[in-house]
Structures are given as structure tokens and as C-alpha cells.
Chains A and B, each alone.
Chain A
Amino acid sequence: DIQMTQSPSTLSASVGDRVTITCRASQSISSWLAWYQQKPGKAPKLLIYKASSLENGVPSRFSGSASGTEFTLTIASLQPDDFATYYCQQYNTYWWTFGQGTKVEI
């Protein structure tokens, strides 16, 4: 199985900060990577797919990039609504896997 290693596990930030979350795949997954945001008690919400494509309706302060097997989610200017947990997910193979999650807290 492909392992997805996400870092950091927790990130403390302030409103207006630029935030970067990294996800590393254990082998090549091309660009088959998605990012999700989850708030407590809610279902995950798709932010980014195919490594860098922004889902409809998602604010442009969110962006994704890739370099080999390392993928990055960037929030350009953190807003109060962005405090949540973020997950990456690979869908390169038939057996999809998530990263462990990154909690963005104040």
C-alpha cells in the first residue's frame, strides 16, 4: 500500500499567516492527490484535487503544488474559518489512503 506521511501533525498560527502543510507519498502517485478540510463533527470537504486544481467554490487563498512525491497545501492568508484539520489523500491505486491529518489551531 502507498503510505502518505503528512506534516506537521499540529500547526499553531494566527489570522493572516501564510500556512503550509506537506504530504509525502511512499512512492510515485503522479498528481493523483486531493486535499480536504474537516471541522469537528462535520464531513470532510474537498479543497484541491489532482494536486493543484481548486474545487469549485473554494476560496483562492487555498492552493496546492507538487514536486515528485512531495505535495503541499498552502493557505495564503489564514482566515478564522480556516481553523480545522486538513487531510491529504492519494488515489493513484485502487487502494486509496489518507494522510494522518494536520490540525491548524490558533
Chain B
Amino acid sequence: EVQLVETGGGLIQPGGSLRVSCAASGFSVTSKYMTWVRQAPGKGLEWVSAIYTGGSTYYAESVKGRFTISRDNSKNTLYLEMNSLRVEDTAVYYCAGGEGYMDVWGKGTTVTVSS
């Protein structure tokens, strides 16, 4: 069964750092474009970052320079390292995979940035 499971969310103070993970099963994270999408409370979906099959990475302007996407092929896991966190980064973070469109989604992990 194809599945994505996110972990690592939590409560963090502004300016802090956090790494969220996404473990894949049923397929390889190198075989799909893997992405992070977030959703602030009561708001719509926001694309955050993507890593292509060849390893190229891309970021939304709102997180560029603060967030880093990566993957560990041996663990079949996707990561999002988040630094200099802001209150406005508070959201449910979903990992997803596909070919531009996203046909596999995790259930999400909640990141709350608050003092």
C-alpha cells in the first residue's frame, strides 16, 4: 500500500528550529516529485517546497532561505528543516508525492509557532 506518514510537529517559539519528517512506504521517494504543502488554521493550501526526482529543490518565496527540503533514500524519508520560524508558519504540514500533481498525501503534522 502506498502511504506517507508525517512526524515531528509540535510547539516551538518564534525564531526556533524544527525538523519534520515524512516516511514513505509502497514506493520510493526518489521515484516521485516530493513536496511539502501547508495549511494555516482556517486557510487554504499553500505550496511550500519540492524536491524533484533528480534532486533539484524549489521553495516558495515565503520560506526561501529559512526552510530546507531533503530526502534520505536509504530510509525512504522526506524531511523539511525549518529555521527562524515565525508565527505565520503555524500550520498543518502535509507531505505529498506525484508528478507535479500530487496523488499521494500524508495525513499531516501540526506545527505551532507561539511564545
Q: Give residues in A with beta carbon < 8 Å to B.
A: 1, 32, 34, 36, 38, 42-46, 49-50, 55, 87, 89, 91, 94-101
Other A-B contacts than A87-B45, A94-B56, A98-B47, 20 sampled, CB-CB below 8 A, are A32-B100, A34-B101, A36-B102, A43-B105, A43-B107, A44-B45, A44-B102, A46-B98, A49-B100, A49-B101, A49-B103, A89-B45, A89-B47, A91-B101, A94-B58, A95-B47, A96-B50, A98-B44, A98-B45, A98-B46
Q: Which of B94, B101, B106, B107 has the most A CB atoms < 10 Å from its CB?
A: B101
A-B CB pair tally, cutoff 8 Å: 59
**A101 contacts which of B44, B50, B96 (Cβ < 8 Å)?**
B44
Chain A residues in 8 Å Cβ range of B94: 43-44
Chain B residues in 8 Å Cβ range of A100: 44
Within B27-45, the residues touching A (CB, 8 Å) are: 35, 37, 44-45
Separation in Å of the B98 CB from the closest CB of chain A?
A: 7
Separation in Å of the A1 CB from the closest CB of chain B?
A: 7
The residue of chain A having its C-beta at the shortest distance from the C-beta of B106 within the complex is A43
Chain B residues in 8 Å Cβ range of A42: 107
